[in-house]
Amino acid sequence: MRERLVAWAYLLGWKVVCRVPRRLAELAFRLVADWVWWRRGRSVQQLEANLGRVVAWSAGQAAPATSVTDLKELSRRGMRSYLRYWLEVFRLPVIPDTEILGRMRSTGEEQTAFRNMAAGGA
């Protein structure tokens, strides 16, 4: 049953998200991110545990160098970033090529990528 729900969610993402106005989609995904973060489920708890280790490591300490409040804000931003990633994945077919190129560092193979996208490939 869970697999069917996930499949329907992906289908909904591919079929609907690229058809609604960008600002509305951004707002919806941000609200979902904040809701998931607010629920404080296992995924958010794991994210905070991982971020706590990264923050401690980058500060050269064994314990987190940031407060619990700072870590929670960092995890909230991380959850928003993760949902923004999915928003961009679902909206990729309607993002203009110029916007895509303007947001990346070119390696000379971008036209190959655009040809593959136009052909429906990966």
Q: Which residue has the higher pLDDT, 43 or 59?
A: 43
Q: pLDDT over 90 for what percent of the chain? A: 46
Question: So what's the pLDDT on residue 34?
Answer: 97
How far apart are the two ends of the chain, measured CA to CA in Å?
28
Residue 108 has pLDDT above 80, yes or no: no
Mean pLDDT, rounded, for 7-14 = 88
> Do 52 and 71 touch, CB atoms closer than 8 A?
yes
**pLDDT 10s digits, 45-103:** 999 999 988 887 655 555 555 677 888 999 999 999 999 999 999 998 898 888 887 88
Output the CA torsion 89→87→95→14 (10° steps). 60
Rounded Cα distance, 99 and 56, in Å: 36
Return the closest-CA partner of residue 78 out of 36, 24, 28, 120. Answer: 36
> Do 51 and 71 touch, CB atoms closer than 8 A?
yes
Mean pLDDT across the chain, nearest whole number?
A: 86
pLDDT band, residue 41 (cuts 50/70/90):
very high
79, two tokens: 């959850």
